[in-house]
Amino acid sequence: MPSASDVYRMLSGQAFGQTHLPTVDLSGKTFVITGGNTGLGLDAAKHLSVTIQLSSSARANHLHRARLKASTLILGCRSIQKGEAAISAILCETHCASHTTIEVWEVDLDHYDSVVAFSRRVRSQLSRLDGFIANAGIELTKFELSECLERTLTINLVSTYLLAIAILPKLQDTAVANTVDTRLTIVGSIIHVFAPVAQLDVGQDQAILTSLSDPKTADMEQRYNLSKLMVHQMFVELVKHAPASTGKHRAIINLVNPGWCGTELSRNKEAAAFERAAFSMIGWTSEKGSRTLVHAVTSGPESHGCYLSQCQITPQGSYMRGEHGGKVGKRLWEETIRRIRQIDPETAEYVS
């Protein structure tokens, strides 16, 4: 159960929290967003695409958005067709064709081979990588298997970190070669505080991921919340195990809560009447939430290893800050890295 402070932070943040866009020039820089064809990813892509000068009166209108003029933007999408439709929407809305090159690269987090191929393409074909937003995810209420694990765990956890670790060398090389800080931003969620943490207390004779992938006992109503807690646990360990910086500039790794937003993420879930009523009062638009992603992927070195919510550094939930949560997180990391080593030994070596 979440602590009273966890619940208060979530509710107050949703009701009164503000988000904003950074005022930085991203000319000449390259960014990659997974899940870039819809929801938070698509809105973040629009913000990153091109700068529009706004009058002071226009700034108060959320339909007029300052954009940041990135030179190259890669949308990592499962469907090339949907990705191309997203590019058309971005170009139509932002008129950024003369400033930003946008491409769709296929990546399907349901399949490890696709993730490995995508990461190798990032490392080999991009001349630089300034920011990577690991945004793609899924919320399911029915049990499905993918790569021998419950599908939510495959996509939200294993594939997300397989990809995040695999592109770290490119971020680090870019930082050194261009004397700039680069960023890896992983999309977490405030919902991690509502995760059923007892489900992670698995006996030492069985792997956590294997136990959670038993169709007879899998709690799919709570699976998304649990997967986001596990994303947070893996983030803490990734920061510990990522190679140290060899110079003044580094790959900054941070974790961002985009807020409770209205997106297609929950398209497979029928919300209860109470949930719909609550969202009508404190829910955010996708555009408002997407600003947190852009803020995180352009944040300074003070954000390294930190959880960002409402565009500021914020403590994670009480379970994440406790000793037991840390021990479970370490065990989850070790199990997941063993799995990643079987999938792609080269990637596992980056954090060994």
- Cα–Cα distance, 171 to 169 (Å, whole number): 5
86 within 8 A of 74, measured Cβ to Cβ: no
CA distances (Å), origin 171, targets 38, 104, 137, 259, 336: 25, 20, 22, 26, 22
One of 161, 224, 307, 319 is an active-site residue; which one? 224
Distances in Å between the Cα of 98 and the Cα atoms of 49, 65, 72, 86, 309 are 10, 18, 11, 17, 33
Extended strands (E) in the chain: 30-34, 72-77, 101-106, 131-134, 145-146, 149-150, 182-187, 251-257, 261-262, 284-285, 307-309, 312-313
Q: Give the gyration radius of the chain's Cα atoms.
A: 19
What's the CA gap between 206 and 151, in Å, rounded? 19
319 a catalytic residue: no
Contact status, residue 79 vs residue 37, Cβ threshold 8 Å = yes
Give CA–CA dist 343/325, Å, rounded: 27
Distances 141 to 89, 135, 150, 151, 303 between C-alpha atoms, Å: 30, 20, 11, 11, 34
Q: Which residue in 29, 69, 228, 288 is the catalytic one?
A: 228
Q: How many residues does the chain have?
A: 352
**Distance separating the N- and C-terminal Cα atoms of the chain:** 34
Reduce the DSSP state of residue 249 to 3 states and report it: coil
Concerning whether 142 is annotated as a catalytic residue, the answer is: no
- Whether the Cβ atoms of residue 165 and residue 154 lie closer than 8 Å to each other: no
Cβ distance 297 to 131 under 8 Å? yes
* Cα–Cα dist 124/216, whole Å: 43
Catalytic residues: 224, 228
